[in-house]
Amino acid sequence: MTWNVPNILTVLRLIAAPGVVVMFLYFARPWADWFALLLFVGAAVTDWFDGYLARLWKQESKLGAMLDPIADKAMVVIALLTIVALNSDARVGMDPWILLPSTVIVFREVFVSGLREFLGDTAGTLKVTKLAKWKTTAQMIAIAVLFATGIFQHMWIERTVGMDQSILADILAGGEDPSNLRLIRDFYWNAWWGGVVLLWIAAALTLITGFDYFRKAVPHLRDEA
């Protein structure tokens, strides 16, 4: 195995995937949201750098080729599981706006991973398309934005807890706003709906690229006559 900078970055990204969950186990919110967001964004950035550096320095290796897609999928799947959990309520259950696209993405990643494992060496002949790269980018951005919603949500809670409802209503109606509550509210809703829209776009791209991969794999799945 070859240990170089690109491969080390890939391994760090792989370790960062479960690290997102650990943030919520050991830190109170919104600090956990901040740390998870920074960790996820930092790991996502290395996804571009490790491949770029490997090509630039001609350090492409089998280890990197094997770990890179695993790290990507681990990051996305674990982050989505965390976001689904954070957006669940004991009284109303899971949020369908988050749960449905997350299910589509996880299903596709598991399906394609199983298909690649079955195809073995043949899977290497099925090239990754530009649309698949856009799919990964959309997933990463959507997840980062949804992590940010937790930050604005808890800023809102911290500044409104115990506040008289008539005072809060007056502030939201345009009254004096020393705590910037209207700005926090707008940031929260824009981040929430922006993240949801991006997640559905990512789910759509995930379905399209998954079907395209399966279509290319079909000739290799036919039984010999």
Q: Give the integer Cα–Cα distance in Å for 158 and 45.
A: 31
According to DSSP, the residues that pair with 88 across neighbouring strands are 94
Count CB-CB contacts under 10 A for residue 162. Answer: 4
3-class DSSP assignment, residue 58:
coil
| Cβ(141)–Cβ(40) below 8 Å | no
Q: Please give the share of the chain, as a percent, with pLDDT higher than 70.
A: 93
Query: pLDDT category, 147, cuts 50, 70, 90?
Result: very high
What CA–CA distances, in Å, run from 179 to 138, 152, 153, 156, 166?
Answer: 33, 13, 14, 10, 16
Domains assigned to the chain: 5-220 (1.20.120)
Strand partners, 94: 88
165-184 mean pLDDT:
81
pLDDT of residue 136: 87
Query: Which of the two residues, 69 and 209, has the higher pLDDT score?
Result: 209
Which pLDDT does position 153 carry in this prediction?
Answer: 87
**At 206, is the pLDDT very low, low, confident or very high (cuts 50, 70, 90)?**
very high
**Which residue, among 81, 88, 83, has the nearest Cα to 109 in the 3D structure?**
81
| CA 215/CA 129 separation, integer angstroms | 13
Choose the weakest-confidence range: 27-31, 48-52, 200-204.
48-52
Lowest mean pLDDT among 17-31, 66-80, 124-138, 150-164: 124-138
Task: Evaluate if residue 64 carries a pLDDT over 80.
Answer: no
Residue with tokens 């094997």: 66
pTM of the predicted model as reported, rounded to 2 decimal places:
0.86
The average confidence (pLDDT) of the chain is: 85
Pairing of the two strands 93-94 and 88-89: antiparallel
Check residue 90 and give its pLDDT.
59
221: which 2 tokens?
A: 């799945």
Give the dihedral sign, CA 191/36/70/82. Answer: negative
pLDDT at 106 (0 to 100): 93
More confident residue, 82 or 127: 82
| pLDDT in the model for residue 91 | 65
Q: Are 14 and 76 in contact (CB under 8 A)?
A: no
